[in-house]
Amino acid sequence: MSSKRLSVVVTRRLPDAVETRLKELFDVRLRDSDAPMTQAELIEAVKEADVLVPTVTDRIDAGLIGQAGERLRLIANFGAGVDHIDVDTARSRGILVSNTPGVVTEDTADMVLALMLSVTRRLQEGLSVMQTGDWQGWAPTAFLGGRLGGRRLGILGMGRIGQAVARRAKAFGMQIHYHNRRRLRPEIEDALEATYWESLDQMVARMDVLSVNCPHTPSTFHLLNARRLKLLKPSAVIVNTSRGEVIDENALTRMLKTGELAGAGLDVYEHGHRGNPELRNMPNVVMLPHMGSATQEGRLEMGEKVIINVKTFADGHRPPDQVVPAML
* Domains, the chain, ordered by start: 3-103+295-327 (3.40.50.720), 105-287 (3.40.50.720)
Between vectors from CA 106 to CA 160 and to CA 248, what angle results, nearest 5°?
A: 65
Q: What is the 3-state secondary structure (H, E, C) of 27-76?
A: EEECCCCCCCCCHHHHHHHHHHCCEEECCCCCCECHHHHHCCCCCCCEEE
Residue 275 pLDDT level (bands cut at 50, 70, 90)? confident
Residue 325 pLDDT level (bands cut at 50, 70, 90)? low
The pTM of the full predicted model, rounded to 2 decimals, is 0.89
Q: pLDDT by residue (tens digit) across 16-42?
A: 999 999 999 999 999 998 899 999 999
The Cα 167–Cα 111 span in angstroms is 13
Nearest to 290 by CA among 161, 107, 119, 121: 107
Residue 3 pLDDT level (bands cut at 50, 70, 90)? very low
Q: State the burial class of residue 200 (Cβ atoms within 10 Å of its Cβ: 0-12, 13-18, 19+).
A: middle
Residue type, 90: A
